[in-house]
Structure 1
Amino acid sequence: MSQTASPPATHRVIDIPDIGGPEALILKRQPTPAPGAGEVLIEVHGAGVNRADVMQRLGTYPMPDNAPTVPGLEVAGVVAACGPGVKRWKPGDRVCALVVGGGYAEYCVAPEVQCLPVPDHLTLIEAAGLPEVVFTVWITIFEQARLTSGDTLLVHGGASGVGSMAIQVATNCGASVIATAGSDERCAFARDLGADLAINYKTTDFVEAVRRHTQGEGVDIVLDLVGGPYAKRNIACLKMGGRLCYVSLQDGLEASFDLLHLLLNRLTVTGANLRRRSVEEKGRLARDIEQRIWPLVRWGRVKPIIDRTFTLEEAAEAHRALESGLIAGKAILTPRME
């Protein structure tokens, strides 16, 4: 194992020993992990807070067998040590990484193939807001929904982490974007990111607004983070040959819609999950993202949107803010302040 200064024997983490409310997030010390073959140990400067972390805390997330009880799916920091066989990274490199868990910590182990280089113009705290949303956007609107230049994309939750990234990436790839959000302020946020139309779903029927905006034609793709309650209306928004892609089911697991309408209009209903994929599959995704999306990040055309930062001690406050809809973009935990 190659390393610079030895990592400490123990480090601080946020653990979830039992399911419950935000108070279930417990700050504790545990042994600092050592990287195995093909892995790097990252000194964490920023860890993204995601809806999946909240669902893990509540006990409603289908956890992979190898996931730790320490939450956190994305980190950015400095490589502290490299396990046997690591070829690309060396101690001192700035990286951000997608991880299966363990990000709410001062140190986190990540497979080297799931790491990406942090562009020079970004801080490590900013970079911590990239991996989960970029990977998610890639597998949904590109791999599953096959977005191409000229498509029209409807994004639900346009002010969320995934939504804010989807708007930026899609518009930079030549698509037109319509977004929904739960307030006029969050709609303005989505428009500032590049959405052509932002609909306050609390005051406006988004189906009517979409049909009007597209002159009755509908959209090519719907990216849905809501779940069952939106199914019929999502289907109604799609044009001939349209694709509906689910990435989260926050408000319901069951859906009902007219199958004849789906058949006659040649619609596709699909979905994507990231966390349960193998290291090899995530490595392939990382390579594709570095080739196709990372140049947009390096050029500053796509950027992480960081709303608020919280210390490890404030992890419960971060969860409360996310659950209350107070975060536009991403919330980041900062085990170390840059």
Structure 2
Amino acid sequence: MKAVVMTTAGEPEVLQWQDVSEPQIEQPNQVLIQLKAAGINPIDTKIRSRGTFYPDQMPAILGCDGAGIVKAVGSEVKNFKPGDEVYFCGGGLGKQGTGNYAELAVVAEHFLATKPKSLSFAEAAAAPLVLITAWEALYDRARLEAGQKVLIHAGAGGVGHVAIQLAKLKGAEVYTTVSSPDKARLVRQLGADEPILYQQTNFVETVLKLTNGTGVDIAFDTVGGQTFFDTVNAVKVYGDLVTILEPNYSLGTLKVARNRNLRISLELMLTPMLSGLIEAQQHQAEILQQCATWIDQEKLKIHLHQTFPLQEAAKAHKMLENGSITGKIALII
């Protein structure tokens, strides 16, 4: 089969279009999928530039997110059959025999969910990682409830644009930071109550003004760096701050967060995959199944910025690393 293979760590050019052996079902719970599209996420570009989680198993096929058609199933697979359309987040971290920048993939059944019928394969492939990340951050870590006020950073980005919608589905009031009027219009269309143009105004001051000086119940940091520490000042006493990035303590301290009794949560949706936690992987598939229902009910949208043919994965990586895109990028297979 054809695949885009990472031959070594480095610039996008290390992604090479090659012929590779077809993956085979080796366990009774595995499913062979004819991939139609693969999502691209920042984790892909980080792995490509820094090296995979399994450096002794190079070369590697990247891509955690995929969507396609079931081609064959193992003897113990219960919920899927050949011909079913599926989407999932599984593999692509450098482990041999995994990855979705390819024509075929073998994935354990418990990663899979039925593809939303109303989405193209490209839209579906763009969705899993960001949906799971936003769901776990807001629903599982922060325990979002109706009526709460939420600040979501980078609301027009991949994670941010679905986080806004998941927060609104729970009945929250949503404020979100964006960099331009165009992105402000997009996030309003997605349900945000108050876009904050952070390059023109201090987001902490704006949030405090919007909340009569108390701060938000929950802040979701998808940016990291100094933004994480600045955000502490926008969260109310006994509030929640969730981040998807590791805090850099050379940029600040958590003294104010401690004084406010904030609950600080770290969200990494890759943990179940990296640690082999089957029940957590099943929970993530259940998240995708519920999101598929909401998507088909037109309660949740996936914003696909652009697609590239699979063989142009390097170009897609360059676009993502250049920044300023809205929503997601996907590869057409």
TM-score by length of 2: 0.90
Q: Could you tell me how far apart the structure 1 residues matched to 2:200 and 2:55 are?
A: 39
Aligned to 2:68: 77
- The aligned residue for residue 35 of structure 1 is 25
What do you get for the CA RMSD once the two structures are aligned? Answer: 2.1
* Matched residue SS, 1:304: coil
Distance 1:272 1:255, change over 3 A: farther
SS in 1 for 2:70: strand
Report the Cα offset of residue 44 of structure 1: 0.8
Report the secondary structure of 1:103's partner residue: coil
Q: What does 1:180-199 align with in structure 2 at a 5 Å threshold?
A: 180-199=177-196
The Cα of 1:72 is off from its aligned counterpart by 0.5
Q: Does 1:14 align with 2:10?
A: no
Aligned to 2:169: 172
* 13 and 120 in structure 1: CA distance in 2 versus 1, 3 angstrom threshold: same
Cα offsets for 1:198-227 (capped at 9, x unmatched): 122222211111111222121111111222
| 1:160–1:204 Cα change, 3 Å | same
User: Per the alignment, do residues 257 and 215 of structure 1 end up closer, same or farther by CA in structure 2, a change over 3 Å counting?
Assistant: same
Alpha carbons of structure 1 residues 323 and 242: separation in structure 2 relative to 1, 3 Å: same
Alignment-derived partner of residue 262 in structure 2: 267
Equivalent residue for 1:308, pick from 287, 297, 306:
306
Count of matched residue positions in the alignment of Structure 1 and Structure 2:
322
Q: Give the partner amino acid of 2:150.
A: L
| Structure 1, 17-26 or 282-291: larger mean CA deviation | 282-291
Letter in 2 for 1:28: Q
Task: List aligned pairs for 1:50-129, cutoff 5 A.
Answer: 50-59=41-50, 69-101=60-92, 102-129=99-126
**Shift in alpha-carbon separation, 1:289–1:107, aligned structure 2, 3 A:** closer
SS at match of 2:25: coil
CA contact (8 A) 2:8 2:58 kept: no
State the shift of 1:62 in Å.
Answer: 5.2
Residue of structure 2 in register with 1:290 after alignment: 289
Are the structure 2 counterparts of residues 272 and 119 from structure 1 closer, same or farther at C-alpha, using a change threshold of 3 Å? same
Post-superposition offset of 1:64? 9.3
Q: Is the 8 A contact 2:305 2:325 kept in 1?
A: yes
Counterpart position of 2:132: 135
Classify 1:134/1:68 alpha carbon distance in 2 versus 1 (closer, same or farther; 3 Å): farther
**What residue number does 1:7 align with?**
none
> AA paired with 1:284?
H
The code of the aligned residue for 2:308 comes to F
Distance 1:318 1:289, change over 3 A: closer
Q: Percent identity?
A: 34
Compute the displacement of 1:184 (Å). Answer: 2.3
**Gap change, CA 1:65 and 1:147, over 3 Å in 2:** farther
Alpha-carbon deviations, 1:28-84, whole Å to 9, x = none? 110110123211111111111100001011116756988972110110110011123
CA distance in 1, matches of 2:56, 2:262: 34
Deviation of 1:120 after TM superposition, in Å, equals 2.1
1:256 to 237, 252, 256: 252
Task: Report the CA distance shift for 1:282/1:64 in structure 2 as closer, same or farther (over 3 A).
Answer: farther
**For structure 1, which runs of at least 5 residues remain unmatched after alignment?**
1-10
CA apart distance, 1:268: 0.8
Q: SS in structure 1 opposite 2:271?
A: coil
Residues 247 and 158 of structure 1: CA distance in aligned 2, closer, same or farther (over 3 Å): same
2:271 aligned partner: 276
TM superposition score normalised by structure 1:
0.89
Q: Structure 2: 5+ residue runs without aligned partners?
A: 93-98
CA distance in 1: counterparts of 2:53 and 2:200, whole angstroms: 34
Q: Residue 191 of structure 1: CA displacement?
A: 1.7
TM-aligned CA deviation for residue 147 of structure 1: 0.8
Residues of 1 paired with 2:268 and 2:295: CA distance? Answer: 23
What secondary structure is seen at the aligned counterpart in 1 of 2:126? coil
SS across alignment from 1:52: helix
One-letter amino acid matched to 1:322? L
Change in Cα spacing, 1:205 to 1:267, as seen in structure 2 (3 Å) is: same
Which 4+ residue blocks in structure 1 deviate beyond 3 angstroms?
Answer: 60-68, 251-255
**Deviation at residue 279 of structure 1 after TM alignment:** 4.9
Q: Give the letter aligned to residue 93 of structure 1.
A: D
Structure 2: distance between partners of 1:205 and 1:158: 16
